[in-house]
Structure 1
Amino acid sequence: MTTRMRSEIGEQPTALRATLDALLPRVDEVRRLGDQTRQLLFIARGTSDNAAVYGRYLTEARTGRLATLAAPSIATTYRRKLDLDGVLAVALSQSGRTEEIVETLTWAADCGARTVAITNGGPESPLAQAADLALCTEAGEEKAVPATKTYTTALAALAVLALGLGADVEPADLQRVPDAVEKLIHDPGDLDAVVEGLAGKPGVVVSGRGMAFSTALELALKLKEACYMHAMGLSYADLLHGPIAVVDADTPAILVAAGEGPTLPGTIALAERVTGAGAAAYGVGGGTGLAAVSTASLNGPDLPEWVAPLGLIVPGQLLTEALARRLGIDPDAPRGLKKVTQTD
């Protein structure tokens, strides 16, 4: 029996094409709003917060604008007013109905920010209604609790946002993403080997850096949600500052990297260090260089670094779904979770 999660993973090429068709014509709208601002503030929780990490790296590395992640509790719990003049506040919510995120975006506007919503909830959702500009993704209804297609389409919307903010990238790269994702769905790499390598382990460290850091965080979250693993998502720079001590024969590492870019050599070196210490290192992406020094590896997308995260997460999603089934867990309905989470 095919799980909902697996079916929705397979729907991502179609969802990405529809989202790009809807949002790429709106680059000029983003540009006009962005011209009124100097820096960005990303507002999100959970999976959307991992997407926001990609938005932050992409914005700073490719547009030259300072970008930060918001602490919603400043607005909703401490109720502190800040000077957000010149700020573009970007709120992400798959449903567009998470009250804390809607409230924080409204607070940002009251503090002087211009506002953007990224949501799969449609233009009538509370978040879209609260924003100056709503970039609504076209993932369709997502029934499985672990987010898959709503995550990758949110990344696509962030890539469109970056184009509107003047990113020094090739816009045509985005059009290659759906085909690259489709290829990964059909050929994810050594999936069975990685599943078996993780099946008896209580925990795992998932690490990447730069653009790929968001993928490491999201894969760690998925393994927690759907497989009940103690999965730690870390930048490899932070991992090397101490937590690498937990990597051993019982705690393998999953290392994530684009097939090009300045963080790839460091990821390869980390894989060599992990395996040299007697632990397993499972590569995700990183081309032949990372695969050659990994215990087993999953394929990455044939995409430039700036859009690679849209594909890098896909083999991780497939890994999560397959590992959950291997462990006897229903990945569609993890314990204790709902599709829409409300926080105070």
Structure 2
Amino acid sequence: MTTKMRSEIAEQPAALRATLDALLPQVEEVRRLGDQTRQLLFIARGTSDNAAVYGRYLVEAHAGRLSALAAPSIATTYKRRLDLDGVLAVAVSQSGRTEEIVETLDWARDCGARTVAITNGGPESPLALAADLALCTVAGEEKAVPATKTYTTQLAAMAVLALGLGADVNAADLDRVPDAVQKLIDDPGDLDALVEGLADKPGVVVSGRGLAFSTALELALKLKEACYLHAMGLSYADLLHGPIAVVDEDTPAILVAAGDGPTLAGTIALAERVTGAGASAFGVGGGNRLAAVSTASLHGPDLPEWAAPMGLIVPGQLLTEALARRLGIDPDAPRGLNKVTQTD
């Protein structure tokens, strides 16, 4: 039986193509807002927060704009007014109906920010209506609780946002994203080995750095949500500052990297350190160099580092779905979770 999650993973090439077709014409609108601002504030929770981490690294590394992740409780619980003049506030919500995110975007506007919404909820969703500009993704309805296609299309929206803010990247790379994702769906790599390597483990560390950090966070979240693993998502810089002590034969590491970029060498060195200590290091992406020093590995996308996260999460999604089934868990409806989460 094919799960909803597996079907929605397969829908991602078409969803990405439709989203990019819809949003790339809005680059000029983003540019006009960007010209009125200096820095960015991302407002999100959960999976959307991981998409915002990608947006932050992308904007800082390639558009030269200082960016930060908002603490929505400052607006909703502490009700503290801040000076947000010159800030572009970007709120991210799959449904566009999470009250806390809508309220925080309203707060940002009242504090002087210009506002952008990234949502799959459509132009009539509360979040889209609250923003100066709505970047509406075209993922279609997502029925499985773990987000897959809504997450990757959020990353596509982040890429469009970065282009509008003057990112020094090749926009033509986006044309390659849907086909690169399809290739990973067709051949994710040694999926069975990773499933069996994690099936009897109580926890796992998932690590990446820079633009791949968002993928590490998102994969850790998926493994927690759908497989009930104690999965810790960390930058490998933070991992080396102490938490690496938890990595042993009962707690493997999943190491995530694009096939190029300045963080690849450090990821390879970390894989060597992990296996040298007798633990398993499972690679995701990183090309042949990471695969060569990993216990087993999943392929990454044939994309430059800036665009790679749009494909890099896909093998991790497939791993999560397959591992959940191996553990006898329904990945479509994890315990205790709903599709839309409301927080106070």
TM bracket, shorter-chain basis: over 0.9
Residues 56-83 of structure 1: per-residue CA shift (max 9 Å, x gap): 0000000001000000000000000000
Tell me by how many angstroms 1:190 deviates: 0.2
- What is the aligned partner in structure 1 of residue 80 from structure 2? 80
- Is 2:17 the counterpart of 1:13? no
Residues 127-148 of structure 1: per-residue CA shift (max 9 Å, x gap): 0000000000000000000000
- Is 2:130 the counterpart of 1:137? no
TM-score by length of 2: 1.00
Residues 49-106 of structure 1: per-residue CA shift (max 9 Å, x gap): 0000000000000000100000000000000000000000000000000000000000
Secondary structure of residue in 1 paired with 2:238: helix
Q: Distance in 2 between matches of 1:20 and 1:235?
A: 29
- What is the aligned partner in structure 1 of residue 332 from structure 2? 332
Tell me by how many angstroms 1:311 deviates: 0.2
Query: What letter corresponds to residue 262 of structure 1 in structure 2?
Result: P
Q: Distance in 2 between matches of 1:176 and 1:269?
A: 29
Mapping of residues 78-227 of structure 1, within 5 Å: 78-227=78-227
Residues 210-250 of structure 1: per-residue CA shift (max 9 Å, x gap): 00000000000000000000000000000000000000000
- What is the aligned partner in structure 2 of residue 58 from structure 1? 58
Q: Distance in 2 between matches of 1:327 and 1:5?
A: 16
Secondary structure of residue in 2 paired with 1:31: helix
- What is the aligned partner in structure 1 of residue 311 from structure 2? 311
- What is the aligned partner in structure 1 of residue 232 from structure 2? 232
Tell me by how many angstroms 1:339 deviates: 0.1
Q: Distance in 1 between matches of 2:217 and 2:6?
A: 20
Secondary structure of residue in 1 paired with 2:155: helix
Residues 121-180 of structure 1: per-residue CA shift (max 9 Å, x gap): 000000000000000000000000000000000000000000000000000001110000
Q: Can you give the 5+ residue segments of structure 2 that lack an aligned partner in the other structure?
A: none
Secondary structure of residue in 2 paired with 1:207: strand
Q: Distance in 1 between matches of 2:73 and 2:45?
A: 11
Residues 12-47 of structure 1: per-residue CA shift (max 9 Å, x gap): 000000000000011000000110000000000000
- Is 2:22 the counterpart of 1:22? yes
Q: Distance in 1 between matches of 2:307 and 2:108?
A: 28
Q: Distance in 1 between matches of 2:16 and 2:196?
A: 31
- What is the aligned partner in structure 2 of residue 251 from structure 1? 251
Tell me by how many angstroms 1:194 deviates: 0.4
- What is the aligned partner in structure 2 of residue 281 from structure 1? 281
- The aligned length equals 344
Q: Distance in 1 between matches of 2:96 and 2:252?
A: 36
Q: Distance in 2 between matches of 1:162 and 1:284?
A: 25
- Is 2:71 the counterpart of 1:71? yes
Secondary structure of residue in 2 paired with 1:95: coil
Residues 256-276 of structure 1: per-residue CA shift (max 9 Å, x gap): 000000000000000000000
- What is the aligned partner in structure 2 of residue 297 from structure 1? 297
Q: Distance in 2 between matches of 1:74 and 1:62?
A: 29
Tell me by how many angstroms 1:298 deviates: 0.2
Secondary structure of residue in 1 paired with 2:341: coil
Tell me by how many angstroms 1:316 deviates: 0.1
Residues 177-213 of structure 1: per-residue CA shift (max 9 Å, x gap): 0000000000000000000000000000000000000
Q: Can you give the 5+ residue segments of structure 1 that lack an aligned partner in the other structure?
A: none
Query: What letter corresponds to residue 94 of structure 2 in structure 1?
Result: Q
Query: What letter corresponds to residue 111 of structure 1 in structure 2?
Result: C
Query: What letter corresponds to residue 111 of structure 2 in structure 1?
Result: C
Secondary structure of residue in 1 paired with 2:232: strand
Query: What letter corresponds to residue 327 of structure 1 in structure 2?
Result: L
Tell me by how many angstroms 1:114 deviates: 0.1
Give the ranges of 4+ consecutive aligned residues of structure 1 lying more than 3 Å apart after TM superposition: none
Tell me by how many angstroms 1:313 deviates: 0.1
Q: Distance in 1 between matches of 2:200 and 2:8?
A: 27
RMSD across aligned positions (CA): 0.2
Query: What letter corresponds to residue 61 of structure 2 in structure 1?
Result: A
Q: Distance in 2 between matches of 1:62 and 1:267?
A: 21
Tell me by how many angstroms 1:333 deviates: 0.1
Q: Distance in 2 between matches of 1:78 and 1:98?
A: 18
TM-score by length of 1: 1.00
Q: Distance in 2 between matches of 1:175 and 1:109?
A: 34
Secondary structure of residue in 1 paired with 2:14: helix
Query: What letter corresponds to residue 300 of structure 1 in structure 2?
Result: G
Tell me by how many angstroms 1:293 deviates: 0.1
